[in-house]
Amino acid sequence: MSTPEWVKDAVFYQIFPDRFAKSSRNPAATLPFEPWDSAPTTHGFKGGDLYGVLEKLDYIQELGCTAIYLNPIFASASNHRYHTFDYYNVDPLLGGNEALKKLLKEMHKRGMRLILDGVFNHASRGFWQFNHVLETGDASPYRDWFYFDEERLKGHKNWGAYPTAHEQRALNHEDSLTAIGYRAWWNLPALPKFNTDTPAVREFLFDVAEYWIKFGIDGWRLDVPGEINDDEFWREFRRRVRAINPDAYIVGEIWHEAQRWLQGDQFDAVMNYLVTTTSMNFFAANSLDMSVIQHAGGLKDRVRPINAHDCANELDRILNLYPSDITYAQLNLLDSHDMPRFLSCVNEDKTALKLAWLFMFTIPGAPCIYYGDEVGVNGKHDPECRKSFPWDEGRWDHDLLDYAKACTTLRTEHAALRRGDYKRIHAEGELLAYSRSYRNETLITAFNTSNEDKTLELPLDKKPHVLFGKPVISENQVTIPARSGVVLK
């Protein structure tokens, strides 16, 4: 098993490019975008771009983040860019390839890493090879690149790429293959599904992956990779990518247990939504907003209040699902573009967010902050969870920002939190404690999720040094203030 060493020390920052920062350097900046601070819409564009990300690298570094995960950036007619038109060109609205080149150069100069979102399961109606078939039917040499209905290919029926009311009704109860003439991901007409059994399609997608690794990116986050139900496809993907850059990070979007893909021959890690759920269940046990959580994609059915004992058991289970090298390279997160923001899931309980951050930064795996969470950005179901970043500092929650910075600093300064062995110490009621040990350093993290101060007895040989929080220590007893966490050395 070989996971990139740099990931174990990384702190990621996830950016939705259209909504993070807008720069006047972008040639497209003068186009008529939606007002930056207006409510996000499903189809509207705010005009965020890669030059904007470049200009905010100081902010990202001051937050303590060392790597960026960008949602899709290739040419597309959607603000989220999961509808790829051209896999070899950065969207001109984001500044084009030149903007990415400059961003990479500056990030690498600073010792930062960049991973891109790879959308290889489906393309878009505007993708050249797909559009070619819509225009020429059975005569197109690209007819095997997707799954098409023979009747439409032969011109006996019209395509439903832009469905009529009748076709849209048909999509509600039959497969898109018969309803509109081609197989679409989740029956969404805008997302025709690649036929990855076709050798030319496989070679095209592998070439795209290689092209951008050669361009200088540091890895791929793979969108819905489980939808390409072919282990050999992902094995070849890994071989091709790692042959160019042995340190490239390959992380898949899998919302559940992922042993199938984490055997050492496919992905290095997955987006660890198991940690998301555990964090929400324990630290927000009394403030969960189930009306919001029902929109939280693949984790909604796993959300329920739990106590410290259940939290510790679940964490033990998560940390033992995969080989340790993979566990320490997992992408741990509290929320993302695909679910309501953590704050909205927990009824704006900021203490729950703080506790969950401290948890995420002190357990094995690479923590990831979703842009804006650190200043108190909330948001329910898409498109609300994809709001524009509020660059007016008067609108920031500076207490949250300071706490997030303290968490990143803590992890950065202590190798035990990045590479240390994990050991459970105490888990009962509303009190949870565990240690991380690396070489000659041992750190203890403890949480009190109740609304009153609680005292915990810890196995201490001497009076510890307080690294984080405000505990009261008396011999082997540590009193932790209500709704807070502490880290001791």
Catalytic residue among 253, 289, 314, 373: 253
Total residues belonging to the chain: 489
Distance between CA atoms of 68 and 155, rounded to whole angstroms? 46
Pick the closest to residue 318 from 352, 285, 281, 278 (CA basis): 278
Name the active-site residue from 223, 314, 338, 349: 223
Separation of alpha carbons 347 and 286, rounded Å? 10
On the question of a cis peptide bond just before residue 383, with omega within 30 degrees of 0, the verdict is: yes
Element (H, E) at 219: strand 219-222
Q: Which residue in this structure is represented by tokens 């160019």?
A: 244
Active site residue 253: yes
> Does residue 238 contact residue 274 with C-beta atoms inside 8 Å?
no
**Amino acid letter for position 271:** M
Q: Rounded to an integer, what distance in angstroms lies between the CA atom of residue 250 and that of residue 229?
A: 17
Q: Is 197 in the active site?
A: no
Residues 6+ apart with CB under 8 A from 381: 292, 295, 340
Strand order in the sheet with 477-480: 454-457, 477-480, 472-474
**Residue 459 CB: number of other CB atoms within 10 A?**
10
Starting at the edge strand found earlier in the chain, the sheet holding 431-438 runs 421-428, 431-438, 441-448, 484-488, 466-468
Q: How far is CA 15 from CA 18, 28, 82, 109, 470, in A?
A: 9, 19, 14, 20, 33
Q: Where in the sequence numbering do the catalytic residues fall?
A: 223, 253
